[in-house]
Chain A
Amino acid sequence: MTAVLETRGLGKRYRRRWALSDCTLDVPSGRVVGLVGPNGAGKTTLLHMATGLLRPTTGTIHVLGAPPPATPAQLDQVGFVAQDTPTYAGLNVADHLRLGAHLNRNWDARLASDRIERLGLDRAQRAGKLSGGQRAQLALTLAIAKRPELLILDEPVASLDPLARREFLQSLMEAVADQELSVVLSSHLVADLERVCDYLIVLVASKVQVAGDVDRLLATHHLLTGARRHPVTLPEGQQVISASHTDKQTTLIMRTDGPIHDPAWTVSAVGLEDLVLAYMSRNAPGPRPALEVQR
């Protein structure tokens, strides 16, 4: 299966700060990929480089086999919904559809029209007067109706209320089922992504912490609890992601490909949210007061 997004040592620097560094990814096609990380971690930077809106400082990036922004052909194959779903406030819904039709070769007018009908959007309504959820759906329609192979969305539901959020994701999943799209979706909330993603990339402090199929990630990460052991050492092949200690107990989130033989540990599964949080807390900037759970 060809990689839909491939990067090697990708980095982007703004003046003195590296917004993204040393990013190496191989994202397979046919997945719904979640890109998760705290604000400022570099998610938007990565996605903007994937859509050709930014040029890398170092490293390479290939989207559907070509470095962006390549030809109009590649622009046709990739659909993008930017953060806060920008639309032209002065243009109405029908105008936006016409925009899509004029600027995209593979525009499916029937699909766009049906979606707008089903969503109940008023064609004569100016985009500036739509609610946040409606604007997001309009932007999604524009991206889907051009029949791309890859759909990239930058925090599309961050500023939506729960109902609009659910409707957006329903809409998105329907399109994925219908058109066999690959999707890359970023968010700083894991809960948004848990239901829909089957591949996860965790981006914290401008670096990729972990990336892989969700099933595999859940299978290789474990929660270990046991008597207090500080500092923690684990056998080779096992890696501590995060550790917390009370006076009597140590709790670890760790990662391993093989089985765990140490009987002193109680092993249980880690939820996706806890997994991501473990990676995020590992890279928390600056000293943070340790929040220890007193049991």
Chain B
Amino acid sequence: MTQITHKQAIKWINRRLDGMLTEGQLFLLDEHLHSCDTCRAYAVEMDSVPARLQHEFRARWDPKPGPSPRVMQHVTTKARNIPMTNRISSGLKLLAGAAALLLLGFAINFVVSQLPGTSPTAAGTEMANISPRPEDRLLAFTSNQNGNSDIYTMLPDGSRLTNLTNNRANDEYPFWSPDGKHIAFMSDRDGSVQIYLMDADGSNLIQLTEGDGNYLLDVNGFGPWSPDGRQLIVSHKPSEEQSWKLYVMDVKDKTIIELIQEPGEYILPSWAPDGEHIAFTSAPSARTVREIYVVDKNGKNLTHLTGNLPRGDAFLFGSYSWSPDGKSIFFTADVIGTQRGTYQSTRYQASLDGTLSVVTRTAQSMLDWWDGTALVRDLEGTPSFTWLRSDGSQSTVELCASSDQVSGIAYEQSYAGDSVLGLNCSTGGWVLYWANSDGTITNRLLSSRIPAEYDSIFNMSWSPDDNFIAFIAINTGAPDVTEALYIVNVAEARNDPDVEPLKMEESYGPSWQPLPRPFP
């Protein structure tokens, strides 16, 4: 048994107070303290300091009331002039920068981005044995519990947990193929991040991309697979570049088609249901106002769908959805810059040639719209949500406590149309609610809460049988980002809110194995 010195013990006693010891170090320190009276006495003394401080701080500051109303009054009055001041300041900066840019523009003729070639190393992919029963659908996800990321599958109750990659490299973000037989994922086993493909049981591994730079699959929403399971949307950044390009890759012969020539920040790419077009969002800089584009799957006919929005309307980085026939895209734009009481959200339908038509308008922030029903949120800060129906009826519910502020929202509709809504209420963390499709019934789904330490809920997705919902709770405030995968048995929780969700620490990137379905 390794022993530690007194000096080491003193150092570790201090480090332990800041949570900086490993399990092994804690064990060795514990051993030492059992046999050393001096160090034990020191540990007791040091342990008493945090407790005393917490007590003193709380006794001194907790009883003080919050800030007076003058703070709100002062800030809101002063803040009114900020946009104008910023515009003037930006204008001056622009003028100064314009001359420099002009000179630079002459110097730069063109930028050629050469995509590295991919050598075909085709391998056979034996089909895994797939159960046709919806309740046997596996959940694939990434877990970092063993110190490096690996891809696992399991049934939604946590059984049949299998490590598919079991590799010392980082293997992340599995995406099931539409037939539920293969999994695409990212790995840095080759040094840089590349895309790989394997069967549902982890066999028949194929490296799809190779060469300079890194290749990524978009992890923000729609998944990379074409509806026929033959192609993947991938993004690539050569090692010496700062920006990304979007490509479509054929998984069989590994050929690649460039979707957009201009490098940039492209996220949320998605396939049209008919597999003929691809939509994606882009922003010229790291701003929340984004643009939606659509392009043919062969990279031709790039169209700027949000280019014809009326002045003042902006697509504020929300999501978008395809019409079932793949001929148009729905999205919500908000009028920005309006004064209190004149808020306006508009649901647009954009044809693939960029023609816009208004589906509906609301005076509150629209979270979602489907089949004539809009879910809107009160922007005044109260936790109030309203379902507005096409027949003119509506139902408003106040979720959380009425005095709560909502600092985060997660929302996902099931295949049948009902939905789960997660709200980060200011008193005590995230509360999950279930609502039927038109909002006439809204109930709290779980008695327990998702802890407040997680500031976001992300990647919310329903199981193919609509019985389970999986999501990631993530603490983006921590520099090293902590996250956990939650799986809620919605069918069970609706009868008994006291059921506990399944929680997998240090896990993320859930992907449900789809039910095999015919390609239209």
State whether these chains interact.
Answer: no
